[in-house]
Structure 1
Amino acid sequence: MAWNALYSSAFEKIRSRIRNVGRVLLAYNTNIDAVKYLDGGDLERRVEAVGKDEVFRYTDELPERIENVHQLLGSILWSIKRGKAAELFVESCSTRFYMRRWGWDELRMGGQVGIMANLLGGVYGVPVIAHVPQLSRLQAGLFKDGPIYVPRVENGKLKLLHPRDFSGDEENCVHHIYEFPRGFTVFDLKAPRENRFIGSADDYNPNVHIRPEFHEHFEEIAGEAEVAIISGLQTLTKENYHEPLETLRGHLEVLEERGVPAHLEFAFTSDEKVRKALVDMLGLFHSVGLNEVELASIMEVLGNRAIAKKLLTNDPVDPVTVTDAMFKLAEKTGVKRIHFHTYGYYLVLTGYKGEYVRDALLFAALAAAAKAKLGDVRNIDDVAKAMDVPVNERVGGVEEALAEQYGMREGIAEVNGHQLAFVPTRIVVRPKSTVGIGDTISSSAFVGEFALR
């Protein structure tokens, strides 16, 4: 199939229309990423120093949260062993101190809201309203130029300002990102692909701290938005999730009243009770985005453990198993759009039809490849620089399986009254970084759909 022609056409369509999208509301998590590029020898020495046997206990199953250095190092090894991303809240003060002493190689904008705000507003020129839990000078300085706004209330009136004009100096919320490349080796573990482990070490995002401006003026804020993307719920626990999810429910009801479709970016949620509560709320969303680890974790709470296991067994992930899981999720929740992204390909199951769904995926795949290739995408024309990145060579079997099972042609099939859209991705062999690629994919595809409608 002439995927290059489809890629080129999709990019040109969206580039010419994306600024027609109205304001995008982004909530709730923004932080500062302290990125550490792992060194195998250094990591082995650290593991040996605290006790290899104790650390390796956590390479087969992640803890719910990080309570000591053994769990931190074991969780990093869990990600390396599988080439999978994971994020856990670091509860222990001594472990946070250990991470600070370990240090970092660079500081970047972090949090799904922060990354999406810089992409949508700073790169695409789509105006965004971002919820920032704590707006320090360092955090504000990490936002790009462009139509990026945060709410501020002055004399009882709501104003929308660029973060650098907020004139506040609140706390820094730092997350530690441990990145490794494909083939990274430590002890007898070898990473099958590049990825990272994230240790969340702030007390605002894990509790989904929502600013007073959002509590008191949400109806007015929602009235300024055309679409919404919700994220940052992944570190909630059974002890603290009730109030944030009730607030979220209220926000979703307001968005629904105003006809603002909302997408949930479903990051890995270790607490099973919270996961189940989020699944129970999915019917209030228009859309959800997830990868194979996150989809498997949802299948587990729905009682489909056999499917969950199969999702994590094959590489590339079996697309028929993925589609089966997506249908089960759609049937259970009523969510109209499920966006699945994995290394090598993307699938979207929708209750509506149109080539624009596939074209938005192609644009998202190109944006993700550009971010992997360049590290920082400065403007929308930079996205086109990924056209020379080759389409995934290993995706042929995936495409054939979809054609055989569902009669898919040119990345589109009709299945049980739904549309299934598929695209192969472009693979950057040695990416500059993997942080934020999932957020780039999901926000580009979701907003891209509205640009083309």
Structure 2
Amino acid sequence: MMTKEIKKQWLQNYKTAPDQLAKMSKINGLISAFNANIDAVIKLSGKDIEKLIHDFKIDQKQILSKNITTINTKEDAFRGLLKCFTKGIAEEWLIEDKEIFQWLQNNLGYDKLQMGGQGGIVANVMAVCGVNNVFVHCASLGEEQASLFLDLPNLVSVDENGTVNKAKNIKRSNDIPLIHWIIEFDKGDKITVDGTAFTCPKSNRFIATYDPLNFILHIDETFASCLSNESINYDYIILSGYQMLQQELSDKTLGTDRIDASIKTLEKWVNSNKNHVLHLEMASTQDVIIRKNLLDNLATKVDSLGFNERELIDILEVISEDDLAKECIENTNSVNLFKGMQKIFEYTNCPRLQLHMFGLYVTLQQKSFKVTPKQNLDGMQLAAVIAAAKAGTGAIDDYETLLWAKDLEVSDVGLNELQALSNLVEADSDIKTLMKTGIVSNDKYDLIAIPTILIDKPKTLVGMGDTISSISLVGAR
């Protein structure tokens, strides 16, 4: 079948998206936990940075020193910024000194505030899609954080008195703002520090983060207790935020202990409402001990696990699949990544795995999984449409925008990856179904894969993976 005919077939396949979106209003409820924060975005030119250094009498020689990757002084903040500016790289440094956080808050400012953290992003997405009663957990929910939630009656959280209210209206007076400064800069810009001139080789960003609660996976006990009540009805629990943990935490506790504490909370939620699907979004978990613990102690308990290409490779590296991980790094394609999915499938025995890679989404699930392959296909197609709408318009804050991309064709990149995957999994079969229907089933598993819609010049890619994973699952009705 020629590419033109295949694209026509997938355009027809994607016609289910509007109906799938409408079905999301029939979902009783969803918990999005655990991380929400404030992203303060600001673009600085080389001249802007030079002016800040001059105005605040920053020691320029200290800015040029090395071997520090945390922020305890004003100089540290500018050191991290200069490193990323001069190398065109992205790094995130933690602000460990509260006074420096307050200094940045008073003097750096921002161009805009936006929702940060997978938990907060997923909550906004689920609410605008029409899910009834989206319960969002916030380690801190002061006025600034509350302002970033959509003004929707179905998007709720718990105030300090244990009362469920619209998230946007909750202002827990004693909660501190958890701010991730995202400082952007442009390729070709120039800066001079201590007499040395630098040119930025690539547009990128430096992130300075003050988030003492999410970095220890703090769980608000009032929220946790409220959601353990059997009168609270929900069909899904979407988990994220574990990637911020390190094994040795600033409060002298262990990251693995925080995982154990979260599992106890989850057990209470699960026991109070057994009709649910529990999904873990893996995210980029840098601490190897934390990553391995999550796989062994949480991924084995959830119904669904989501990841992108890099996160899949990270998982392979901690389950002793080093050769396959290396192969995936050298040739990051659907064939190698599917081989990796199979290894993770065997290791965790998790009923459902979903990979979102560039141009292609792939779901691998057990034959007994509670969502059928066709339902999964429809959910993934809806996710692809909404993700394209987000990339193309820059925001999906209203219902009307969600289907902006519903009539766009799938990408050549995705079709090529789908064809390669088809050649692998259907090599011994006379019946070839994957390219046309996106579904292959055998006696071991169901495989669902779809080519996605790609936007040439996306206005945003922030939170794209969280959007894809959550809608693929929750939109599968």
TM beyond 0.5: yes
Aligned residue for 1:133? 139
Give, as a single letter, the amino acid of the residue that structure 1 aligns with 2:421.
L
Q: Pick from 250, 261, 266: which aligns with 2:264?
A: 250
Q: CA–CA distance in 1 between the matches of 2:85 and 2:347?
A: 33
Q: CA–CA distance in 2 between the matches of 1:324 and 1:222?
A: 43
User: Would the aligned equivalents of 1:121 and 1:148 in 2 still touch at CA under 8 Å?
Assistant: yes
Superposition RMSD in Å: 3.3
Aligned residue for 1:292? 309
Aligned residue for 1:335? 350
Alpha carbons of 1:354 and 1:137: their partners in 2 closer, same or farther (altered >3 Å)?
same
User: Would the aligned equivalents of 2:256 and 2:293 in 1 still touch at CA under 8 Å?
Assistant: no
Give, as a single letter, the amino acid of the residue that structure 2 aligns with 1:7.
Y
| Structure 1 residue 432, shift from structure 2 partner | 1.8
Q: CA–CA distance in 1 between the matches of 2:86 and 2:208?
A: 13
| Structure 1 residue 218, shift from structure 2 partner | 4.3
Normalized against structure 2, the TM-score is what?
Answer: 0.79
User: Would the aligned equivalents of 1:292 and 1:341 in 2 still touch at CA under 8 Å?
Assistant: yes
Q: CA–CA distance in 2 between the matches of 1:92 and 1:309?
A: 38
Alignment of 1:185-196 (within 5 A): 189-190=201-202
SS of aligned partner of 1:440: helix
Aligned residue for 2:30? 24
Alignment of 1:119-198 (within 5 A): 119-146=125-152, 147-152=154-159, 154=161, 158-169=162-173, 170-178=175-183, 189-190=201-202, 198=207
Q: Pick from 280, 285, 289: which aligns with 1:269?
A: 285
| Structure 1 residue 185, shift from structure 2 partner | 6.2
The aligned length equals 427
Q: CA–CA distance in 2 between the matches of 1:400 and 1:44?
A: 51
1:250-281 Cα offsets, whole Å, 9 max, x none, are 12323443322211111111111111111112
User: Would the aligned equivalents of 1:88 and 1:270 in 2 still touch at CA under 8 Å?
Assistant: no
| Structure 1 residue 405, shift from structure 2 partner | 0.5
Aligned residue for 1:376? 395
| Structure 1 residue 94, shift from structure 2 partner | 8.5
Is structure 2 residue 255 aligned with structure 1 residue 241? yes
Aligned residue for 1:345? 360
Normalized against structure 1, the TM-score is what?
Answer: 0.83
1:45-97 Cα offsets, whole Å, 9 max, x none, are 99xx7799977x99xxxx7x77745556556888x66xxx8766444669857
User: Would the aligned equivalents of 1:89 and 1:235 in 2 still touch at CA under 8 Å?
Assistant: no
Is structure 2 residue 272 aligned with structure 1 residue 230? no
Q: Pick from 206, 213, 216: which aligns with 2:222?
A: 213
Aligned residue for 1:437? 464
Give, as a single letter, the amino acid of the residue that structure 1 aligns with 2:450.
V
Give, as a single letter, the amino acid of the residue that structure 2 aligns with 1:264.
L
Give, as a single letter, the amino acid of the residue that structure 1 aligns with 2:469.
S
Alpha carbons of 1:188 and 1:204: their partners in 2 closer, same or farther (altered >3 Å)?
closer
SS of aligned partner of 1:338: strand
User: Would the aligned equivalents of 1:307 and 1:325 in 2 still touch at CA under 8 Å?
Assistant: yes
Is structure 2 residue 442 aligned with structure 1 residue 411? no
1:115-156 Cα offsets, whole Å, 9 max, x none, are 1111111343432111111111121122112201112364xx
Is structure 2 residue 290 aligned with structure 1 residue 283? no
| Structure 1 residue 440, shift from structure 2 partner | 1.2
SS of aligned partner of 2:38: strand
Alpha carbons of 1:250 and 1:398: their partners in 2 closer, same or farther (altered >3 Å)?
same
Alpha carbons of 1:164 and 1:222: their partners in 2 closer, same or farther (altered >3 Å)?
same
User: Would the aligned equivalents of 2:243 and 2:284 in 1 still touch at CA under 8 Å?
Assistant: yes
| Structure 1 residue 104, shift from structure 2 partner | 3.1
Aligned residue for 1:33? 39
Aligned residue for 1:423? 450
> What runs of 5+ residues in structure 2 fail to find an aligned partner?
1-5, 54-59, 190-198, 249-253, 427-433
Alpha carbons of 1:366 and 1:77: their partners in 2 closer, same or farther (altered >3 Å)?
farther
Q: CA–CA distance in 1 between the matches of 2:238 and 2:268?
A: 14
Q: CA–CA distance in 1 between the matches of 2:93 and 2:423?
A: 39
| Structure 1 residue 435, shift from structure 2 partner | 1.3
User: Would the aligned equivalents of 2:355 and 2:363 in 1 still touch at CA under 8 Å?
Assistant: yes
User: Would the aligned equivalents of 2:11 and 2:407 in 1 still touch at CA under 8 Å?
Assistant: no
Alpha carbons of 1:313 and 1:180: their partners in 2 closer, same or farther (altered >3 Å)?
farther
Q: CA–CA distance in 1 between the matches of 2:453 and 2:44?
A: 25
Q: CA–CA distance in 1 between the matches of 2:383 and 2:50?
A: 37
Q: CA–CA distance in 1 between the matches of 2:334 and 2:151?
A: 39
Q: CA–CA distance in 2 between the matches of 1:341 and 1:196?
A: 23
Give, as a single letter, the amino acid of the residue that structure 2 aligns with 1:22.
N
| Structure 1 residue 24, shift from structure 2 partner | 0.1
- Greater CA deviation, 282-291 or 345-354? 345-354
Alpha carbons of 1:185 and 1:425: their partners in 2 closer, same or farther (altered >3 Å)?
farther
Alignment of 1:350-365 (within 5 A): 350-352=365-367, 353-365=372-384
SS of aligned partner of 1:132: coil
User: Would the aligned equivalents of 2:44 and 2:184 in 1 still touch at CA under 8 Å?
Assistant: yes
Q: CA–CA distance in 2 between the matches of 1:298 and 1:117?
A: 26
Q: Compare CA radii of gyration and give the structure with the larger one.
A: 2
Q: CA–CA distance in 1 between the matches of 2:221 and 2:340?
A: 38
| Structure 1 residue 102, shift from structure 2 partner | 5.2
Alpha carbons of 1:90 and 1:278: their partners in 2 closer, same or farther (altered >3 Å)?
farther
Give, as a single letter, the amino acid of the residue that structure 2 aligns with 1:143.
F
Q: CA–CA distance in 2 between the matches of 1:303 and 1:385?
A: 43
| Structure 1 residue 226, shift from structure 2 partner | 1.5
| Structure 1 residue 287, shift from structure 2 partner | 0.9
